Homo-oligomer: A and B are copies of this chain.
Amino acid sequence: MTRSTLHVGVIGTGMIGQDHIRRLTQVVSGAAVVAVTDANEVVAKEVAAGLANATVHATGRALIDDPAVQAVIVTSWGPTHEEYVLAAIAAGKPVFCEKPLATTQEACLRIIEAEAAHGSRLVQVGFMRRYDAAYRALKQIIDSGDIGAPLVYYSGHRNPEVPASYTKDMAIVDTAVHDFDVVRWLLGEELVGIRVLAAKPNSLGGDLRDPLLMIAETTSGVLVNVETSVNIRYGYDIRGEVVGESGTAALADRGPVQVRRAGRVGVSVPVDWRERFIAAFDTEFQEWIDTVSGGLALAGPSSWDGYAAQAVCDAGVQALNGGERVAIDLVEKPALYSS
């Protein structure tokens, strides 16, 4: 049972970074945050002041090069991810990078090349749905064969509301990207084409094209239907159903208490992503810490997964604007990511 504490450096101490630091120090076991940095140095110093013994670095590069830092967490602004991930690879240090891995397919491919050159996986991407207990149970049922081969997958991504800064493309690159990743993982297949259809707009959603229906296909021909409804008010509701040859399996409603009141019986729907996925974030980090500390091979979402998700998003945005099916062409998959 013995093991040493993993010394982590965190690049980016904004809202998400702070939440991960809280998680690392107060929730999960086996890690300590020993270094932080942020574009806003004042914030970085405030965060460090709340930690037992953490150095504030002027830059992400400096943090990565700090010998006290054994592993790196990147939660800075998306466009900076490539630089820090590449630097961590160059330093031979494990790096956990929040999504997106990088903001272009080309940047993702540069990371893949660097990691392949390094010869073993160092990068994990923050697709936390793979750590959600319900998705894991869903995958287990698919893999058991109990419902036969998957033929259709429905993914519903429903959000009560989005801020004014949310743009049309974000329904794909910020929202549906989670659905794309999780379906690739659930089915063990790549997506090869996508159509995007916009429904009559939700009047609660301003100028957005919302909801969207995206119909993608996998390599073997499974149809994947992703709905994004980002102004649906009633709750944060992540739905998923795989239709197999002889049955179906779906994420269940899991409100903890069934109330009978005022003519109705039912359970609650999560109010936001925190309520729905907080345990998945905890598990994601605990497993990453255990893997890295134990010197084990990384099994979480890889650079390849980051690249493939980006490719689907790019095709989705193109399909949204053009209206017809867009093919998703991936480069050949390096052997490093084959297992």
Query: A interface vs B, CB < 8 Å?
Result: 1-4, 21-22, 25-30, 50-52, 133-134, 137-138, 141, 146-149, 151-152, 154, 195, 197, 199-204, 211, 213, 215, 217, 220-223, 225, 227, 229, 231-235, 237, 243, 245-269, 271, 279, 286, 290
Contacts and interface: CB of A to CB of B under 8 A. Distances in A.
A127 to B, nearest CB: 18
Contacts of A211: 151-152, 223, 243
B260 A265 contact: no
A213 to B, nearest CB: 5
A252 B243 contact: no
16 contacts: A1-B50, A26-B29, A27-B28, A27-B29, A133-B256, A151-B211, A227-B243, A233-B246, A233-B262, A234-B260, A235-B263, A237-B260, A246-B261, A250-B258, A250-B259, A251-B257
A26 B22 contact: no
A263 B268 contact: yes
A213 B203 contact: no
A176 to B, nearest CB: 15
A225 B245 contact: no
A43 to B, nearest CB: 14
A222 B249 CA distance: 27
The complex is assembled from copies of this chain, and their number is 4
Nearest to A253: B265
Given A29-B25, A267-B264, A249 B259 contact: yes
A117 to B, nearest CB: 34
A227 B241 CA distance: 13
A2 B50 contact: yes
A266 B233 CA distance: 16
Given A213-B223, A265-B269, 16 more contacts: A29-B29, A137-B256, A137-B257, A149-B200, A149-B203, A215-B215, A233-B247, A233-B262, A234-B260, A235-B264, A247-B262, A249-B257, A249-B258, A253-B265, A254-B256, A258-B266
Given A151-B200, A227-B152, A248 B259 contact: yes
A26 B1 contact: yes
A72 to B, nearest CB: 20
A26 B29 CA distance: 5
Contacts of A134: 256-257
Given A28-B29, A227-B152, A264 B268 contact: yes
B252 A267 contact: yes
Contacts of A255: 252, 264-265
Contacts of A271: 263
A124 B339 CA distance: 48
Given A2-B52, A149-B203, A232-B247, A260 B252 contact: no
A195 B196 CA distance: 12
Contacts of A141: 257, 259
Contacts of A203: 148-149, 245
Given A235-B263, A259-B248, A199 B222 contact: yes
Q: Which 8 A-B pairs have the closest CB atoms?
A: A266-B266, A200-B221, A247-B261, A134-B256, A1-B50, A233-B246, A137-B256, A199-B223
